[in-house]
Amino acid sequence: MWIKHLHALFTRHVRHFPTTAPDKRPIACRMRLFCFALSGSTVTIYLPIAELSVNIFIILGMGAAVGFLSGMFGVGGGFLITPLLIFYNIPPVVAVATGANQVVASSVSGAITHFRRGTLDMKLGTVLLAGGLVGATVGVWIFSWLRSIGQLDLFISLLYVILLTTIGLLMLQESLRAMRKAKLNQPLPLRRPGQHNWVHRLPLKMRFKKSKIYLSAIPVVTLGFLIGILTSIMGVGGGFIMVPAMIYLLRIPTNVVVGTSLFQIIFVTAYTTMVQAATNYSVDIVLAFILMVAGVIGAQYGVRVGQKLRGEQLRALLALLVLAVGIRLAIGLFIRPQDLYSVAVGGIGY
């Protein structure tokens, strides 16, 4: 159920994205041209931080595809970019740090829109952010420690598998139920969030005027903290988890949720990018820039396609996609690797 809300919120903000001057060719035709360009060429570009040469069209295609999906479904896309980069043999260390950098770009325009419309609670966002920055710092420590003991890749994959399969299954279940209901022409019962739960009995209460809510700072900071850890370990914005948690756990009014979470995401991902750059030297600006540019353009087309599809179909598709990425990563954990050994340059504490 929360996913329906989430989707409605995201699409609302994404649909506000204005679209380009119309290209009259049908989208399918343009896609075919794009695929043709993809298959025929092998222009390599050297990524100075990842220290390898990649086909620029594959990276552009990845960025555009994830941008397209993020526009279509109204999600940030960090949770797709990082695994895709790992599948394409970019070292996970670089993929995560660069993914965080890319999320900064994809969240900015959304946040600007919300700021203009006044659907952004600065005070609430700042409290979330305070937790987020601490979380991101702790996350980078954990990240560096895992890297030094050689368990980083495993940990990243595990977190992704758990998160993606759980969310994917929840979404699929919810959207299938919605589709069945729609077929029977039953109106969807909209469950109203209850007024109070245990969260509201915590001390240290603060008044958030814009959200018209009187709420303890403890769960807000904690939520920000946990999302901050995810940002620095997984290279995601974390809106996926933050939005439903804000709606259903903190009972924050839905109209300010997406704007406020985007506000927090921008600063936490920006901060993570800085800390990753300073401690692990792993932000690849060339890779990030290609992904950003392709991503913001792809998103424009994604929004248009998204407007033509029905909400529950869209959510079912997204659920399948999320599940597919999760399962692909899970298979990687369970099948016997081709070589049991691996080599890394550097010794203790590199």
Helix axes 92-117, 78-87, angle to 10 degrees: 160
Backbone torsion region of residue 185, taken as left when φ is above 0, otherwise alpha when ψ lies between -120 and 50, otherwise beta:
left
Neighbours of 42 (CB within 10 A): 9
> Which CB sits closer to another protein, 166 or 279?
279
**Least distance in angstroms from the C-beta of 77 to another protein:** 12
- Rounded-to-integer distance, Cα 55 and Cα 142, Å: 32
Of 3, 6, 9, 49, the one binding another protein (CB under 8 A) is 49
Q: Does 22 bind another protein (CB under 8 A)?
A: no
238/262 Cα distance (integer angstroms): 9
CA 64, CA 211: separation in Å to the nearest integer? Answer: 35
User: What are the CA-CA distances from residue 306 to residues 32, 78, 160, 273, 318 (Å)?
Assistant: 19, 19, 25, 30, 11
Contact pick of 1, 45, 169, 320 for another protein (by CB under 8 A): 45
Considering only 36, 88, 145, 281, the residue that binds another protein (CB under 8 A) is 281
Per rule CB under 8 A, is residue 307 in the interface with another protein?
no
By CB under 8 A, how many residues form the interface with another protein?
Answer: 63
Segment contacting another protein (CB under 8 A): 124-132, 149-157, 192-200, 316-324?
149-157
Largest distance between two CA atoms of the chain = 64
- Chain-centroid distance, C-alpha 21: 28
Nearest-angstrom CA–CA distance, 309 and 314: 6
Q: Which of 48, 188, 309, 331 binds another protein (CB under 8 A)?
A: 48
Considering only 159, 169, 199, 274, the residue that binds another protein (CB under 8 A) is: 274
**Distance, CA of 296 to CA of 299 (rounded, Å):** 5
Which residue from 6, 75, 93, 104 is in contact with another protein, where contact means CB under 8 A?
Answer: 104
Site membership for another protein, residue 197 (CB under 8 A): no
Of the candidate residues 106, 137, 175, 232, the single one contacting another protein (CB under 8 A):
106
Rounded CA Rg of the chain: 20
317 is an interface residue for another protein by CB under 8 A? no
Site for another protein in 78-97 (CB under 8 A): none
Is 181 exposed, middle or buried, given 0-12, 13-18 or 19+ CB atoms closer than 10 A? middle
Q: Does 55 bind another protein (CB under 8 A)?
A: no
| 327 lies in the binding site for another protein (CB under 8 A) | no
Closest distance of CB 96 from another protein, Å: 14
Residues that bind another protein (CB under 8 A): 17-20, 43-46, 48-49, 51-53, 101-102, 104-109, 112-113, 150-151, 154, 158, 270, 273-279, 281, 283, 285-286, 288-289, 292-293, 296-297, 299-300, 333-337, 339-348, 350
